[in-house]
């Protein structure tokens, strides 16, 4: 009888040790100061996935040994392995900044006042103003030029005193 109970106890202990334990892991994702909303929390090679709420809080079902990935646009992706004592994960995400080696400007639309002054006689789209010359083709706003025949003659009637 003792052998049967001992064998049964040993087999239950062995089964319990090999079975994967599903548990809930929760926490808050922040940038070190403020919580981050809409961070994607994914169990890699698992079926659980969620996003953080307005307060940066989340809750996900995991198994021991799973890897939980936290990803957000503009931030470095954080991956944490779940261990048997893991219950709370509060990752701090840092900005993903890429330093450029070199920046090259190919061409510019800007022209100097001297260049526009030289082209003023030839180009009808250059306007002479009190503040300098303005190229209607390259100006930031929309400028429309009218010819003489497009302007309507308007008669003014000044009242007499």
List pLDDT tens digits, range 39-81: 999 999 888 889 999 999 999 999 988 999 999 999 999 999 9
Give the three-class secondary structure for 8.
helix
Closest CA to 75 of 86, 54, 91: 91
What structural domains and CATH numbers belong to the chain? 20-96 (2.60.40.1120), 113-146 (no CATH)
Provide the pLDDT confidence category of residue 18 given band limits of 50, 70 and 90. very low
Burial grade of 86 (CB within 10 A; 0-12, 13-18, 19 or more): middle
Stated pTM of the model: 0.53
Q: Give, for 67, the enclosing helix (H) or strand (E).
A: strand 67-71
């Amino acid at each position: 009888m003792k052998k049967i109970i001992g064998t049964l106890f040993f087999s239950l202990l062995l089964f319990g040790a090999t079975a994967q334990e599903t548990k809930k892991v929760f926490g808050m994702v922040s940038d070190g100061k403020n919580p981050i909303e809409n961070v994607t929390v994914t169990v890699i090679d698992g079926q659980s996935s969620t996003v953080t709420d307005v307060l940066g809080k989340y809750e996900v079902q995991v198994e021991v040994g799973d890897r939980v990935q936290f990803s957000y646009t503009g931030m470095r992706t954080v991956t944490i392995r779940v261990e048997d004592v893991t219950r709370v994960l509060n990752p701090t995400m840092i900005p993903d900044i890429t330093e450029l080696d070199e920046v090259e400007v190919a061409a510019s639309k800007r022209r100097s006042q001297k260049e526009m002054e030289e082209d003023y006689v030839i180009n009808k789209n250059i306007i002479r103003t009190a503040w300098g010359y303005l190229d209607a083709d390259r100006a930031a706003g929309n400028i429309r030029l009218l010819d003489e025949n497009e302007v309507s003659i308007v008669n003014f009637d000044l009242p007499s005193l």
